[in-house]
Amino acid sequence: MKKSEKESKKAMTVALMAVVLLAAMAATAGCNSRSGVSDGGQSTESTTKESVAADVKIIKIGIGNSFNPMCYVDENGNLQGYDFETLKKIDELLPQYEFEYEPTEFKNILVGLDTDNYDIAVHHYGWNEERAKKYLYGDVGNFFDIGYNFRVAKGSKILIHSEEDLGGLKIAVQTSSNVAYLSEKYNTEHPNNPITIIYDDGTTEQHLASLNSGIYDGLLSIPFVDILDKAAYGDIFDIAGSQLFYNTDKLNGCYFIYNYGDEQLKQDIDAVQQELLDSGWQKELSEKILGADYTVNLSK
């Protein structure tokens, strides 16, 4: 009888221990479930984040570092400007992409596109036939103009009524720029009275000094930049001509540039850019940074 009672107590003890062990296992499983741990021991929350990250494509953007107010690096080392703010907004509205920026000199940007270091080239690029053969232009621009001004030294007697008056003058252009292309094309079409092209990749201060010292007669300039430079440097140059190389039959905007083969990226960005134009967001940004609305396509 005593033996049987002893065995009974032992059985009850074993059963009790089994219940405690099962409860502990259930509690552990419950904690794992709340923390998102799967049977394989990996966090399902972590797996989800990794899956989302894997679906996001990194887009590398080569962008100017000294073209104020379009794209430049400020005194604190931060990227600023109208094009940069536009890209930031586009990135917010395209969750499938994550934009990464590399500010660099103008001359390096298209080289980076050529070598696939960049997916997008950004530097207030105007459209021209030569570039369009090599690169894929966006269909929607964020800036439109009515041609170039001709900036000359203060008090200059030069007057430019049309492109025909540029022949025989010494004109400064930035290497590989749209005005360089236009000047070179002009010389091809006017071999008997060509422009003397001076390639000058200096700063605005250096351009103004060279202009006023007579190193060259003038330069083709963007109208809104002339307004900003007069505000910054004073009334130290004149405008001798305007609406140069403007033709309503041409594309007179500024666009982001891609490589052929990146049509889907271009289409996605074009669609958002059109939304920003239609909503008035782009107009407000232009007025805030550039001082006026330059989002109207005057070529249509």
Could you report the per-residue pLDDT of 88-121, keeping only the tens digit for each? 999 999 999 999 999 999 999 999 999 999 999 9
Position 70 pLDDT exceeds 80: yes
What's the pLDDT score for residue 271? 98
Q: Which is more confident, 109 or 249?
A: 109
Position 49 pLDDT exceeds 80: no
Position 159 pLDDT exceeds 60: yes
Could you report the per-residue pLDDT of 169-199, keeping only the tens digit for each? 999 999 989 999 999 999 999 999 999 999 9
Position 25 pLDDT exceeds 50: no
Query: What is the dihedral sign for C-alpha 269, 128, 144, 80?
Result: positive
Architecture of domain 56-144+251-290: 3-Layer(aba) Sandwich (3.40)
Work out the number of other CB atoms within 10 angstroms of the CB of residue 178.
21
Position 15 pLDDT exceeds 70: no
Position 14 pLDDT exceeds 60: no
CATH classification code of 148-244: 3.40.190.10
Q: What is the mean pLDDT of the chain?
A: 85
Q: Where in the chain is the domain with CATH 3.40.190.10?
A: 56-144+251-290, 148-244
What percent of the chain shows pLDDT beyond 70? Answer: 80
Could you report the per-residue pLDDT of 260-275, keeping only the tens digit for each? 999 999 999 999 999 9
Let me know: does 245 contact 182? Beta carbons within 8 Å. Answer: yes
Q: Which is more confident, 291 or 85?
A: 85
Q: Which is more confident, 125 or 28?
A: 125
Could you report the per-residue pLDDT of 197-227, keeping only the tens digit for each? 999 998 899 999 999 999 999 999 999 899 9
Let me know: does 61 contact 98? Beta carbons within 8 Å. Answer: no
Question: Measuring CA to CA, which residue among 109, 68, 105, 110 is closest to residue 85?
Answer: 68
Question: How far is CA 150 from each of CA 45, 157, 166, 171, 218, rounded to the nearest angstrom?
Answer: 60, 13, 9, 9, 6
**What is the distance, to the nearest Å, from the Cα of residue 196 to the centroid of all Cα atoms in its chain?**
33
Question: Measuring CA to CA, which residue among 271, 272, 278, 284 is closest to residue 297?
Answer: 278
* Residue 53 pLDDT class (50, 70, 90 cuts): low
